[in-house]
Chains A and B, each alone.
Chain A
Amino acid sequence: MSKHMIQKIHAPISVAFVYNHLKQEVHPVKICWEGRQYTVTTIGLHHTVRDGRTLFHIFSVETASLFFKLALNTESLHWSVEEIADGEPN
């Protein structure tokens, strides 16, 4: 992280994703970003957004040290990270 505590980016990211058929829930569980692994502790918000015809699922997730805003492109099934923040004043 740079001195800015909120970074808006758009970069590919590795995400481990789980679907629980009993709870009918889907959510990311682990993230690999810049060589480090992060375990997701909280899903703050899950929402969708369209860019043209393509639907993106956006997951706002918390790990022990950082917050990530992740986007799943439902056409390519690729993940990207859109925002990283540490929750401190900017």
Chain B
Amino acid sequence: MGNLINPLSLPFNPKKPTIMHVDLNSCFASVEQQANPKLRGKPVAVAAYDSPRGCIIAPSIEAKEKGVTVGMRVRDGKMLCPNLIVLTPDPPKYRNIHIRLRKVLETYTDHITPKSIDEFVLDLEGYPSQKRGMRVVAKEIKERVRKEIGEWLRISIGIGPNRFLAKTAAGLHKPDGLDVIDNTNVEEIYKSLPLMKLCGIKANNIARLNQQNIFTTMDFYQAPIWKLKAAFASVVGYYWYVRLHGREVDDVEFERGSFGNSYALPDTRSTPEEISPILMKLVEKASFRMRTHGYRAKGVHVSVLYRSRMHWHHGTTVPEHIFDSRDVYKIAFRTLLKSPYREPVANIAVSLFSLEKSLYSQEHLFTDMGKKEKLTQAVDAVNQKWGNFVITPARMMGLSDKVIDRVAFGNIKELEDSIIMHNE
């Protein structure tokens, strides 16, 4: 984050904008329309499940025009748009497009950060491409995406002096937009943007800002630092002040904190015994990914959302680092037993936290860790060679297709997996 800037009289950043935010519009649905030309120009929605209660995760541009939105149930989407075509996700397709888009963008700069499966941030400062002009480069990227990846894919590009304004610019004219926010037009843009449209500002933040008589984005921009500090009651107010003035506060890369998997149950399971096979598979998936990245964990967290909308979660920390799925499962199951509720489960998640690098290195006095390491490594090697879950614990029997492959929203860490695998 660098040294804190004196905020008392901070003018808007006068430097030429060099940050570019690239956003693949309606990513999953557009990729499906790219793959199947018979879907182009039609309302399409990718949903977690294609059953009436399935949650829509990506409507196409045509479906959005009919009022279909992210988070809507399939049956509600069909009520708004009776000819809606509902598809289930095909993550390898989306990862492949992500990798190909990344390869195109990498020809312009080394400073490239994937923010999610469909968003990248580029810093062109000092690169030859910057001298050609940011708008020229943006237009070229759009053209190359159509020619080299898929003619149906549209991207919105925003250019700004910092990541926040580049992302804001990318959202001004979707789909296929190209906008620049800099010191010449920033006030005009702020005047046209409601607070709710700012990335990172939600209802609770608006309530905080309203308490300080901040009702518009221009009020927010012109507010003195003390007012924002009072509104957010933390350093967050300072970050917003700097961010709105075109300075960078968001170029921080966080270390991986956990590995987790979750599953929405389509059937009715209530007791820990009924849930245990799903818990085992979640543990297997999360532990396998953790080991593949060379980590081990000291904590296991279980989170359960019941159909009654009751939420229960609990984390357990153990004295020794663990890596074997069987050990993780024991802790996860014991943690699950602590839940006081025995009612139908809607969603269950397991995550491993308190991570430490350098797998398989701990010395242990009482158990034969050498054997355990070798067994785990051998099972992982077989699963890597022949496909995930060729060898599985007996507890997972009958779960062949449960806990299917998904693309996490906004999770860029998982994308590293696909890039590693793609390059192998």
Q: Interface on A for B, CB 8 Å cutoff?
A: 5-6, 42, 44-45, 47-54, 58, 60, 62, 67, 69, 85-90
Contact = CB atoms under 8 A, between A and B. Distances in A.
B34 interface: yes
B34 A45 contact: yes
Nearest to A85: B36
Contacts of A48: 96, 422
A68 to B, nearest CB: 9
Q: Is the interface of A mostly helix, strand, loop or mixed?
A: strand
Interface residues of B, number: 29
A48 B38 CA distance: 22
Contacts of A88: 85
Contact of B36 (A52, A54, A87, A90): A87
Interface string B386-418: 111010000000000000000000000000000
Interface in B64-123: 82-87, 92-93, 96-97
A6 B87 contact: yes
12 contacts: A49-B96, A52-B384, A52-B386, A52-B388, A58-B93, A60-B36, A67-B36, A67-B37, A86-B38, A87-B36, A87-B38, A89-B85
B31 A45 contact: yes
Contacts, number: 63
Given A53-B384, A90-B50, A44 B92 contact: no
B93 A90 contact: no
Contacts of A42: 37
B330 interface: no
B385 A52 contact: yes
Nearest to B85: A89
A58 B92 contact: yes
Given A45-B35, A52-B387, A53-B384, 7 more contacts: A5-B85, A44-B34, A47-B92, A52-B386, A54-B387, A67-B36, A90-B50
A43 to B, nearest CB: 9
